[in-house]
Structure 1
Amino acid sequence: MAGLAIAAAAGPALAEKVVPATKVMPYLDKFLRLPPAERSRMKLSYAILRDGKPMTSLKAALVEPSGARTPLPMNDEGFFERLPTLAQLEQGAKIAFDVPADLKLGSAMDIAPQLRPAVEYEVRDLAATVDETNAVIGKTAGVMAFMAPKFSGIAFLKAEGGLAVFADGRAQPLPLIRSGPYFRPEDFKGAVRVKLTKTPTKVAFYSGKK
Structure 2
Amino acid sequence: MNQSKTFKTLAVAGLGLALIAAATPASAREKIIPAEKLFPYLDKFMKVPAQERSRMRLRYILRSEGKPMGGVKVSVVETNGATTVLPVGDDGEFDRLPTLTQLNGKAKVVVDVPAEKKFSISMIPAPVLKLTQEYDARELALTVSESNAAMRKAAGPALALMVPKLPGIGFIGAQSGQIVYGDGRQAALEMVGGVPVFYPEAHKGAARVKLSRTPTRVAFDDGKK
Same fold (TM over 0.5): yes
Say yes or no: does 1:21 pair with 2:31. no
- Find the partner of 1:158 among 149, 164, 173: 173
Partner of 1:191: 206
Partner of 1:173: 188
SS class of match (1:138): helix
Partner of 2:148: 134
How far is 1:162 from its partner?
Answer: 0.8
Partner of 1:99: 113
Structure 1 residues 63-142: aligned runs within 5 Å? 63-142=77-156
Q: CA–CA distance in 2 between the matches of 1:209 and 1:128? A: 21
Is the CA contact (8 Å cut-off) linking 1:18 and 1:101 kept in structure 2? no
SS class of match (1:165): strand
Say yes or no: does 1:60 pair with 2:56. no
Q: CA–CA distance in 2 between the matches of 1:47 and 1:188? A: 32
How far is 1:76 from its partner?
Answer: 2.5
Q: CA–CA distance in 2 between the matches of 1:78 and 1:161? A: 28
Is the CA contact (8 Å cut-off) linking 2:178 and 2:188 kept in structure 1? yes
How far is 1:144 from its partner?
Answer: 4.0
Q: CA–CA distance in 1 between the matches of 2:110 and 2:203? A: 47
| TM-score, structure 1 normalization | 0.93
Structure 1 counterpart of 2:110, which letter? A
Partner of 2:5: none
Say yes or no: does 1:35 pair with 2:49. yes
Deviations 1:119-148 (A, max 9, x none): 111111111111111112212224444443
Partner of 1:4: 18
Structure 2 counterpart of 1:77, which letter? D
How far is 1:30 from its partner?
Answer: 0.6
Partner of 2:219: 204
Structure 1 counterpart of 2:67, which letter? K
Deviations 1:76-110 (A, max 9, x none): 31111011111111111111011123322211111
State the number of aligned residues: 210
Is the CA contact (8 Å cut-off) linking 1:174 and 1:183 kept in structure 2? yes
Structure 1 counterpart of 2:150, which letter? V
Q: Aligned pair in 2 of structure 1 residues 179, 63: CA closer, same or farther (>3 Å)?
A: farther
Of stretches 50-59 and 119-128 in structure 1, the one that deviates more from structure 2 is 50-59
Q: Structure 2: any 5+ residue segments left out of the alignment?
A: 1-8, 10-15
Q: Structure 1: any 5+ residue segments left out of the alignment?
A: none
SS class of match (1:12): strand
Q: Percent identity?
A: 49
How far is 1:13 from its partner?
Answer: 3.8
Deviations 1:161-202 (A, max 9, x none): 111111111111111123321110122111111111110111
Q: CA–CA distance in 1 between the matches of 2:160 and 2:20? A: 22
| TM-score, structure 2 normalization | 0.87
Q: CA–CA distance in 1 between the matches of 2:38 and 2:58? A: 13
Is the CA contact (8 Å cut-off) linking 1:8 and 1:18 kept in structure 2? no
RMSD of the TM alignment (CA)? 1.7
Q: CA–CA distance in 2 between the matches of 1:76 and 1:15? A: 20
